[in-house]
Amino acid sequence: MILHTVNKSPTAQSTFYDCLRFVSTSDPLQQTKPNAKILLIEDGVYAALKNTESAKAIQQSNLVFYAIDADIIARGLTPLIMSSIQLIDYSEFVRLVVECDVVQSWY
């Protein structure tokens, strides 16, 4: 299991889409048993804004998406974020890192 972290806004740079493109696959085995989780951190949380292109891409992906709650609160985004994103705190961040085999940082 790979943990991918993305820390850039999808509208500022292509980093978020670079990550999504890299992890998305048409392999049917992968789709039922995904081997990746995506964590939005820092400016990456903007990818989870409701009704955006990136929100659509997240919805269409079969992967689990997480976001750091502190980064959302800090930016005043609380009412604007997709409800399907799993909000986590820093200790849950650590738990995710420990649970996964490797971490790939997209920045």
Partner 1 sequence: MMRHAPYGNSLAKEGIDAILTAAAYDQNLTILFANEGLSLLLRNQQSDAIQQKCVEKMLNAFSLYDINEVYVDHESIKARAYALTHFSIPTKLLSKEASNHLLQSQDIILSF
Which residues in this chain contact partner 1 in the complex, by CB under 8 A? 1-2, 14, 18, 21-25, 27, 30, 35-36, 101-107
Smallest distance from partner 1 to CB 75, Å: 24
Q: Which is nearer to partner 1, 16 or 81 (CB)?
A: 16
Distance CA 3, CA 64 (A): 10
Smallest distance from partner 1 to CB 20, Å: 11
H or E stretch including 67?
Answer: strand 64-68
Cα–Cα nearest to 16, from 34, 49, 78: 49
And the tokens for 2?
């790979």
Burial class from Cβ neighbours inside 10 Å (0-12, 13-18, 19+) for residue 26 reads: exposed
Q: Which is nearer to partner 1, 14 or 86 (CB)?
A: 14
Q: Which is nearer to partner 1, 30 or 52 (CB)?
A: 30
